[in-house]
Chains A and B, each alone.
Chain A
Amino acid sequence: MLRYFVTRILLAIVTVFIIITITFFAMNAIPGGPFASEKAPSAAVKAVLEERYNLDKPVGTQFILYLKNILHGDFGVSLKTGRPITTVISESFGISARLGLMAALVAIVFGLTFGSIAALTRSGISDRLIIFFTTLLVSVPSFVLATLLLLVFCLQLKWFPVWSSSNPNYVLPVISLAMSPMAYITRLTKSSMLDVLGQDYIRTAVSKGVSQFWVIAKHALRNALIPVITYVGPMVAYIITGSLVVESVFTIGGLGGKFVSSINNQDYPMIMATTIFLAVLMVLATLISDLVYKLVDPRISFD
């Protein structure tokens, strides 16, 4: 077990290193440095700037310096605004994290509920309805859902206010982020619940006279949860990538929206920093869900 944990953590570290390497060297492959714009400064200024940002050193040295800076939490300076990127990230990540966590919570709670209902009313009307809607929702990209929700509920019906930082309304962004993972969790829960309900210990619990609610809540759902844990990693990845577009659709000033606007502004240090930051988050989420999965279910072998 320890062996598995160590190799898994090592793989995660290697992955993070590779992500940083790819990002760094890819960004270096772009022709023209950050100071090669139309408003080119004079050669002397440029030389000073290049020395200031270590651009005069060989690529290998630059890379090592960049790694060192990242470890110290320093991602450099945004080309667009001139502000340190670490500050930008720490300011905007709060909103994104709140949005993402709410979406994850909604997806998990409703996914588990609907999945259990579908499994318990197998081939009944509610089961069919749930499966119909989840199939539909899995096929709707989050950006389509986000723009449609914005159109219908913000602009046409005016049920929800348009986002502003003084009056944030999380309902629509959370819905557009949570729907697809919720549908996926519903399907997962349904199939694993059906598996569990056929087990002997459920029959034992029922024959002991445990009420149906407690059989489900205590015996069935707990074991049905295990496959859902494996989905947490992919779900975090989905929510992060979804938040990029959802935040720019709703003009939320979170990290995702900043990332997309930095792509359009060609603000390379910002693109680099956000990619690394978000990628590390995703790798961490996958790592944690893998480790928890092995911890929770002792039947899984550790080789």
Chain B
Amino acid sequence: MDESKGFPKKQLLSLQLDLSKFEQVSDEEKAQAVIMRESTTFFKDGMRKLRKNPLAMGSLVVLVLIILLIVIAPRIVPYSYDQMITVDGKRDKTAKNLAPFTYSKNEQAAIDKGEKIFPHIFGTDELCRDYFMRVIYGTRVSLSVGLFASLIVLVIGLLYGSISGYAGGKVDIIMMRIVDIIYSLPDTLMVILLSVILSTVLTEKLQGTIFQKLGVNMISLFIVFGLLYWVGMARLVRGQILTIKNNEYVLAAKALGSGSARIILKHILPNCMSVIFISTALQVPSAIFTESYLSFIGLGVQAPMPSLGSLANAARGGLSSYPYKLVFPAVMICLIVLSCNLLGDGLRDAFDPKLRR
């Protein structure tokens, strides 16, 4: 023991610290203890991973650009999707099937007189309508159908799956058998069949209501999605709930007297939100896919409302003379589906707890 440094003498068996055994921290060691990165939340960490994924970010940019385009373009371009092009207030019948960036005879005459006419970026169609606006509105329709259909799937699947998973026992078995059967139905064929029938049955019923404007086929598409496509989501939610249900914090909540609804809403659903969210995001492109498929075989939105599928279908008529009419909607469908898929994959890689390292 070194008493010369002024330390009190250590008693035998006492717990007093022997300060001489300690040494001062060097600056280097101090630097190690500095917190380099603030602690992150689950969401922030996921976003960081997502930002590092160039494909996902690229798709996000593409999607944002498309959305900006379909929001802004109708305010700038002076044409509408369902009206013939007019020159000096008169319908211009010469503006039929124009190639991109060309003008009709009447328009050319007006330009020569010094008038300014907005170019037809994608040309015009066989009814003298500006094709750019038709593609823009088609994209609007397709995207909103995709979003709404996914929301319907989300809501029904979430309710059904959480009830089934939480209730367990006989209720679960019966509910899941129903899901099994719907799951084994060939969905596209059933969609076609139901669309055929609903569009005939609903046409009379909807006469004069606000739904008529939306188009019978559109309504039947949503109904079909609500009837058939929710099963995948229901299975997913049920599986998630079954794993989370047995955690201690659920038991604790039960012991404190919370009801089933509160436990599902407050404790279980927030914990499986990321997986459900990703699966909803991946549902959007598949819904767009189905919508364009149905429109393509003539069961889609009501004319004159365009959708990307029905535009592609209409373009088949003059395919060899006006190939651009097919190319624009086709590229748009591919672009949307591709970027939705890539973004969905990126979201899954970033947020799915099972894939986290």
**A residues within 8 Å of B by Cβ?**
11-12, 14-15, 18-19, 22-23, 26-27, 29-31, 135-136, 138-141, 143-144, 147-148, 150-151, 155-156, 237, 240-241, 244-245, 248-249, 260, 263-264, 266, 271, 275, 278-279, 282-283, 286
Contact = CB atoms under 8 A, between A and B. Distances in A.
Nearest to A144: B330
Interface stretch (B113-121, B167-175, B294-302): B294-302
B200 interface: yes
Contacts of A19: 185-186, 190
Nearest to B330: A144
B326 A147 contact: yes
Interface string B292-326: 11001111000000000100100110011001001
A244 to B, nearest CB: 7
A103 B97 CA distance: 36
B260 to A, nearest CB: 28
B90 to A, nearest CB: 35
A141 B333 contact: yes
A139 B309 CA distance: 14
A135 B338 contact: yes
Contacts of A241: 186, 188-189, 293
A29 B197 contact: yes
Contacts of B45: none
B180 interface: yes
Chain B at the A interface: mostly helix, strand, loop or mixed?
Answer: helix
B297 A263 contact: yes
A264 B189 contact: no
B285 interface: yes
A271 B185 contact: no
Interface residues of B, number: 40
Interface in B143-199: 180-181, 184-186, 188-190, 192-194, 196-197
Nearest to B336: A139
Contacts of B316: 147, 249
Q: Of B186, B337, B338, which is in contact with the most chain A CB atoms at under 10 Å from its CB?
A: B186
25 contacts: A11-B180, A19-B190, A22-B190, A30-B197, A30-B201, A31-B201, A139-B341, A141-B292, A141-B293, A143-B292, A143-B296, A144-B330, A147-B312, A147-B316, A150-B319, A151-B320, A151-B323, A244-B297, A263-B297, A271-B196, A275-B189, A278-B189, A279-B186, A282-B186, A283-B186
A81 B200 CA distance: 22
B341 A31 contact: no
A42 to B, nearest CB: 25
A12 B326 CA distance: 40
Nearest to A287: B184
A136 B193 contact: no
A139 B59 CA distance: 13
A22 B197 CA distance: 11
Q: Of B188, B194, B320, B342, which is in contact with the most chain A CB atoms at under 10 Å from its CB?
A: B188
B337 A26 contact: no
A135 B341 contact: yes
A21 to B, nearest CB: 11
Contact of B296 (A22, A23, A245, A275): A245
